[in-house]
Each structure stands twice: as C-alpha cells, then as structure tokens.
Amino acid sequence: MFLSVFDVFKIGIGPSSSHTMGPMSAAHRFLELLLSDDWPRPSAARVAAIKVTLHGSLAYTGVGHGTGRAVILGLTGEEPHRVDPDRMDETIADVERTGTVTPPGHPTYAFQPKDDLVFDRKQTLPGHANGMTFSAFDADDRVLVRRIYYSIGGGFVVTDTELQRMRAAKNEQSGPSVPYPFATAREMLQMAQGSGISIAQMKRANEEVTRSRGELDSGLDVIWDAMNGCIDRGLKVDGVMPGGLNVRRRARAIHDRLNEEWRSNRPNPLLANDWLSVYAMAVNEENAAGGRVVTAPTNGAAGVIPATIRYFLQFHDGTTREDIHEFLLTAAAIGGIIKHNASISGAEVGCQGEVGSAAAMAAAGLAAVMGGSPEQIENAAEIALEHHLGMTCDPIAGLVQVPCIERNALGAVKAVTAASLATKGDGTHFVPLDACIETMRQTGNDMSEKYKETSTGGLAVNVVEC
C-alpha cells in the first residue's frame, strides 16, 4: 500500500477538503471527460448544458461548506491548488449573471446555479455520504453523459466505478512497487525492525521510487511554506468570519497578548500550550474564511499538524529543515495507514477521522523529531487517536467554525501530550495502533448519520444560531 506524502498533504482552499476541494476537483474531472472519448458520444452530439446534484452530507452542509461555490468554480475550469481566493466571488457572480460557464478549451455551456445545482437531501448515493451526480445535456435537453463522483475525504475524488475497484482491491498491492509497502502499523514496525531504519527513512525510500531526492525535499518545503504561511496570515487578520454565525476571529488578539507576555518575561506555565493553540486557531480561521490551506489530512483538521511543527520550531533548540521533512514524512506514513484501514472523512466516521487522525499524525511526527524509536512513534499515534475515539462531526449551521476551530487547538495539545508520554516510555503499550484504527472504523460505522457532518444532531441543533 502506497499513498504519497503529496496525496496526504495537498494545497487547496477552505473551508473543507471533502465539501469544497473535492467537489471543485470533481467538476474539473467532468469537464475533462466531456473533451475526451471516454463516453459513448452520439454522432454530431454537442453538449449544451450541465446540471449537478449534490447528495448526502454534501446536500445537508454544502451551503455552509461552500460546496455550491466550489462546483461553480470547478465548472469554470478552476482547480483547488490554482484558484485565486481573491477572485472567486467575481467568477461566481459572472456565472450567476450570465447563466453560463465557459471553461478554457470548451464551448459555452448553459449552467444557471439556482436551477442547475440541486441540493438533494432525500437521496443518498450508495457508495459514500459525499456523492455528486454530474450530467451533460444537448440542446434538446437529452442526457448525453452522466457521472457519479464521491468526495471521500482529504480532497480525494473518485467515480463510482473507481470506488468499487478501490474497495475490491483494498488488500492488494496498488500503486508503484516500493521497498517498504506497509499497510498496517504492525507491518511498519516489522519493516523498521528488519531494516534498522526509521519510519521517515522508509517513507522517503518509498517516495523516491517516483521522484528524486531533490524533488521530494523541495516538495516538502513547498508544503511547509504553505502551512507556515497560513499560520502567519491567520495571525494578522481579524474581523467576523463569513457564513452568518457572526463568529469573530480570535487568533490575532490572542497572538498579540502572547507576544506581550513573551516580551515581559512574566511566568506563564501554560505558555507553550497557548502558542500551540493560537497557531492551530489561526490556520482554521483562515480555512473557515475560504483561504489557502493544506489538507492535513483534511481542511477541517488542517491546523493540528502546522501548529505542532511551529510549536516544535519555537520551543526546541537546534531544529533544522531536515526535522520538518522527517516530521511530515512520518506523519504521512501514519495518515496513509489510517486512510487505508479506516477513514479520514468526517462524513463517513465523524470528527474522530479528521481531528483524531490529524492528532495521531502530529503526535507521530513530533515523537520522531524528538528522537523517538519506531515503537515510541507508533505509541504516540495510538495515544492521540485513542483519545479522540467517538468524536462526532456536528458543525453548527454547516460551517467549519464551531466547534471546528477550537477543536484543532485541542487536537494539537493532545498530539504534543501524546508524543511526550510516548517518548518517556520504551514503546511498550497495551493497545496497538492498528486496534485503535479498527475501533475508529467500527465506531464510525455505528455512529448515527446525525453526527457525521450533516448538522442534524449534536451542537448543530442544540445551540441557537446568533
């Protein structure tokens, strides 16, 4: 099993990897399909119009997560890693005004969002909670081609047939042949013991099958620069976040107070935790505002890993660029195992799959750069994930704001605590990480749909909107 570090960490936009980035990518894939010969195109047929239907969690929380906006942008040819956040409103307004989209290389298609973008809360598609149906019509309103896409978490998008193949081949080797093809934490530890190298070194060897060492390192630098830049932007901006809840940004004000304490040298036993929390909140406030973020492994959990790395750089002496690479590679190894054996999708297993997975990844990365053994790293990931088990995904008003922003701060605190506990032991522990991941999967399957990113239960219905 091989999942690249650049599949785990993808640069995109907020507020959601599954509900924003995924639908935008699906729309872009549908446009590519229309230009291809991968569908039975009738003779002389010409696509004149496009319609899109959102199902399941995308329908329930799509408005608050910007799903409709993402689909519109995707149909204009935009992609999550390239779209300019400052021009999105203008692009969407043009589509709504003209009732058409004209993506590069395509003719003009009729697409009026108020009529051709449907939020269907009645029908959930069978493959996944985040389902979308894209349809193309000719001038006589006859269906020419229809495709179902699923946004399966972390910005990953697959068709219905691709999802079936993925599930059928779950236990088979997929992707390039790599020297350390671990699919479970147990296999990872066995390979580390047999090879005598670290988890990050094994992950690096796997990555270098498809790219050079220089390409890998420069790519990791780009990922960290994007994460770090997101923190910096979040610490400079204040005001009310969009969406109607009137939730104010807090990271800048907290950051200013922490800087005052830092300069005054006043004793504060919670200082490290405070910095850790404000970094995570800065990222997720940027995400909630639709800014540039990195899936880690999702947008809803995007603050945990950057905050933990920034904390490490600030409070540990002698840190290097190579430490950041080791952190990211180790975290990606753990994230790949979780995604392969359970899920990172809040719509599938609740927030235990998002912030829980992020905390496990961050704990593993931090334990690695603190000198932890493979066994201590696996222990750190297990501790962090175990104490997120059962966490629901119930965003108020379908917005990635409450409880999501603070939840990232607490996820980062748990990650640091887990790494500290693990590295003070010898790696021996009672619950294996694989058992914890399987427990998360089972818990997610048993969890009511009300608590899986539909905003029909929990805080979403028990807190009066302001």
Compute the radius of gyration of the chain from its Cα atoms: 22
**CB–CB of 18/346 below 8 Å?**
yes
Q: Encoding tokens for residue 220?
A: 């990791």
State the Cα–Cα distance between residues 433 and 247, nearest whole angstrom: 36
Q: Encoding tokens for residue 435?
A: 């058992």
> pTM for the full model?
0.93
**Quick count: other Cβ atoms within 10 Å of Cβ 371?**
8
Please provide residue 399's backbone torsions phi and psi, each rounded to the nearest 5 degrees: -100, 145
Q: Say what the pLDDT of residue 269 is.
A: 81
pLDDT in tens, the chain (466 residues): 799 999 999 999 999 999 999 999 999 999 999 999 899 988 888 999 999 999 999 999 999 999 999 999 999 999 999 999 999 999 999 999 999 999 999 999 999 999 999 999 999 999 999 999 999 999 999 999 999 999 999 999 999 999 999 888 776 666 789 999 999 999 999 999 999 999 999 999 999 999 999 999 999 999 999 999 999 999 999 999 999 999 999 999 999 999 998 888 777 788 889 999 999 999 999 999 999 999 999 999 999 999 999 999 999 999 999 999 999 999 999 999 999 999 999 999 999 999 999 999 999 999 999 999 999 999 999 999 999 999 999 999 999 999 999 999 999 999 999 999 999 999 999 999 999 999 999 999 999 999 999 999 999 999 865 4
Q: Say what the pLDDT of residue 175 is.
A: 72
Instruction: Kindly tell me the number of DSSP H helices and DSSP E strands found in the chain.
Output: 20, 9
**CB–CB of 124/20 below 8 Å?**
no
State the Cα–Cα distance between residues 185 and 174, nearest whole angstrom: 18
Q: Does residue 219 sit in helix, strand or coil? A: helix
User: Looking at the DSSP assignment, which residues form a beta bridge with residue 294?
Assistant: 11
**CB–CB of 399/243 below 8 Å?**
yes
**CB–CB of 310/280 below 8 Å?**
no
Q: Encoding tokens for residue 301?
A: 């959990």
Structural domains of the chain, with CATH:
14-167 (3.30.1330.90), 185-462 (1.10.4100)
State the Cα–Cα distance between residues 54 and 88, nearest whole angstrom: 20
Half-sphere exposure of 44 toward its Cβ, with a 13 Å CA cutoff? 0
State the Cα–Cα distance between residues 433 and 184, nearest whole angstrom: 9
**CB–CB of 351/447 below 8 Å?**
no
